[in-house]
Amino acid sequence: MPIDVIFLEPCFPANQREFVRALHAVGARVTGIGERPKSALDDDLRHWLTHYEQVRNVTNPDEVERAVRFIQSKVHVHRLEAVVEAHVMAAAQVRERCGIPGTSVQTTFLCRDKPAMKEALRAAGIPCAQSLGSDDPAEIRDFAAQVGYPLIVKPRDGAGASGTVRVTDDAGLELALRERQVGPGRGVAVEEFIEGHEGFYDTISIGGQVVHDFATHYYPNVLEAMRTRWISPQFLTTNRIDSAPGYAELKEMGQAVITALGVETSATHMEWFYGPKGLKFSEIGCRPPGVRAWDLYAAGNDFDIYREWAMAIVHGRPGQRLSRRFSAGIIALRPDRDGRITHYEGLDEVHRRFGAYMIDDFLPPPGTPTQPVEAGYMANAWMRFRHPDYDELRRLMDVVGQTVRVRANA
């Protein structure tokens, strides 16, 4: 009997098609629900999808529900999947309305609402930052007086570092509250600032148990990377997660998080800090990581990670072994100013010295408008590399950051 899976928004962003491809490859009949007209589907998506329904807004659960109920009138829907942060709550709500298995509304809420998430983690004995979610400026000021500066102010349900600011005194806090228009119905998350090295721990879990995991390190930490133009920030996934000291604690805590939040069969994304106060978890997502980190995991482990996710969803079991053969990483290359790219410096040297270790790159041609620094790691130029030795990969990528220059004019 075929397994029927609905996939939310197969067209955008670009790597959504990989999830559809993988579901089809492991034998599922895949129906897409998306915002673009059917005519926008390319030949591959038309081949992989059995059916497609267009809605105006994939984050509107009422619209998605109408489409799902129509599909249910034709076939028995076994799964409804969404892998983008902005889509996961609508998917969870529709699952529960339509009786489809998968990540619950409660789990999705805990993975999106930062203060509630941290309350649940603390209740389970999992270390994380002191936090508050509030739309009351007076309550936030009292929290600041109790916890002390620096503090982090961020959206309650934001992804990554988007909308996040570090405040170091009362004046900075007041500015952050004014800029975000905090008041009745407009709340924010306020957290203790955790000093230390930052990274993320990602899994594919089946029935609440981790079956594949990956540990990745930021250089430098995200807030600094997203605020400082001259830095060419990196993140590197290690191939030492099963052998090097320290990762056992990360693995143990990651499994505890999955249990505490009620995650069953899903990809997960967990941000962490390690510093003077030990290992603490920060953000948790019941979805894959962004910035195409999964591509690095695939390149480092000689496997098709999208197919492995699909095996978990469709068949409830893993299908491949991870080689742990390579560490892999991305380095973002920022233009020296806002404007339009004019030329690159240092590319020939990098290709000559490190071409054998390059996975791929993205180098927008001269004339391309630049994107702001805070737009993220893949907003402008970038390169991705892999190497069997993690320390050598770090050295290599540092050299790339010191060598390649992206020149722009205003």
d(CA 126, CA 260): 9
71: part of which helix (H) or strand (E)? helix 61-72
Q: Residues 81, 6: contact at Cβ < 8 Å?
A: yes
pLDDT per residue as tens digits for the range 217-227: 999 998 888 88
d(CA 351, CA 356): 8
Least Cα distance to 137 among 188, 89, 88, 101 occurs for 188
d(CA 97, CA 107): 15
Torsion angle of C-alpha atoms 260, 262, 265, 271, degrees rounded to 10 = -50
Least Cα distance to 317 among 171, 194, 211, 178 occurs for 211
Q: Residues 30, 53: contact at Cβ < 8 Å?
A: no
- Model confidence band, residue 140 (pLDDT cutoffs 50, 70, 90): very high
Q: What domains sit in the chain, N to C, each tagged with a CATH number? A: 4-102 (3.40.50.20), 130-192 (3.30.1490.20), 197-409 (3.30.470.20)
Side-chain-side CA neighbours of 105 within 13 Å: the count stands at 10
Mean pLDDT of the chain: 94
d(CA 384, CA 296): 8
What predicted TM-score, i.e. pTM, was given to this entire model?
0.89
pLDDT of amino acid 60: 98
State percent of the chain over pLDDT 90: 84
Q: Residues 337, 409: contact at Cβ < 8 Å?
A: yes
Q: If 0-12 CB within 10 Å is exposed, 13-18 middle and 19+ buried, where does residue 402 land?
A: exposed
Joined tokens for residue 223: 């807030």
Least Cα distance to 50 among 7, 80, 15 occurs for 7
Q: Which residue shows structure tokens 């961020």?
A: 154
pLDDT per residue as tens digits for the range 313-325: 999 999 999 999 9
Region 26-48 average pLDDT: 97
User: What backbone phi and psi angles, to 5 degrees, belong to 389?
Assistant: -115, 120
- Model confidence band, residue 109 (pLDDT cutoffs 50, 70, 90): very high
